[in-house]
Amino acid sequence: MADTDFSFSEEDVIAYLKARPDILEKLSKEDEKTNSVNNAGATIVDLTGTIAAKARTEARRLAARNQSLMDAAASNMLHWQELHHATLGFLACTNLTGFAQMVDEELPIIFSLAGARLIMPAETALDNAEELGFLVLPAAEINQILAAQSIYLGPAEKTGPVLFSTPAASMAAIALPDQLPAPICGSALILAGRTEESFQPGHGKTLLTNLAEIIGVCLLARLEAR
């Protein structure tokens, strides 16, 4: 290699280091010293407890959500079973007196209510509706109870003492299907809740609407069989 050539090959470097082992030892000590200094200023944080706590919290949240879904499913299943029992009861009625008794006496038991009444409009009611056990009111009063809607859920302030012997904590008023002939069209099913939370505006209305439709159709069958 010429005196003016300062380039080194890989073989030149290896041969040089083999001839000077003290250099490698010195470099190794310098690395250990540097690593020691760097590690001395480092802080090791153990996140195991935090991660475990978050996992437990998430597990509790998912368990509560699943339980809530299970409770809702069980409640829905119970309500549909109640509707099924009510349907069988109305289908088993052989006369209008038994039909009215089914509304007044059996519906409160099936649905855990404080009371139930079927109201017919005076303008189109059966001649002996009250004798059979139905309640008769002017159509305007029925419309007022329904609050000009097909279904009303909430306080029972509008009914007064007319519908039930004792004040109802809450009330559901459902119009019978208006596609059916009079006196079914214009009639309404009134349910009295045991507590203020029994019937609230935000509650689902599908079950009650189906109940009113079942009552309307079964009542029509009874009227046609007379």
Q: What's the pLDDT score for residue 155?
A: 82
Q: What's the pLDDT score for residue 124?
A: 94
Q: Is 79 exposed, middle or buried (0-12, 13-18, 19+ CB in 10 A)?
A: middle
Q: What's the pLDDT score for residue 164?
A: 78
Name the strand (E) or helix (H) holding 192. Answer: strand 188-193
Q: What's the pLDDT score for residue 69?
A: 45
Name the strand (E) or helix (H) holding 21. Answer: helix 21-40
Q: What's the pLDDT score for residue 59?
A: 64
CA-to-CA dists, residue 141 to 75, 129, 167, 184, 188, angstroms: 34, 17, 18, 16, 11
**Domains identified in the chain and CATH numbers:** 79-224 (3.30.450.40)
CA 183 to chain centroid? 35
Residues of the chain with pLDDT under 50: 1-4, 37, 67-74, 160-161
Q: What's the pLDDT score for residue 71?
A: 41
Q: What's the pLDDT score for residue 170?
A: 87
Q: What's the pLDDT score for residue 37?
A: 47
Q: What's the pLDDT score for residue 158?
A: 57
Q: How far apart are CA 157 and CA 24, in angstroms?
A: 97
Q: What's the pLDDT score for residue 133?
A: 92
User: What is the distance between the terminal CA atoms of the chain, rounded to a whole angstrom?
Assistant: 127
Q: What's the pLDDT score for residue 140?
A: 92
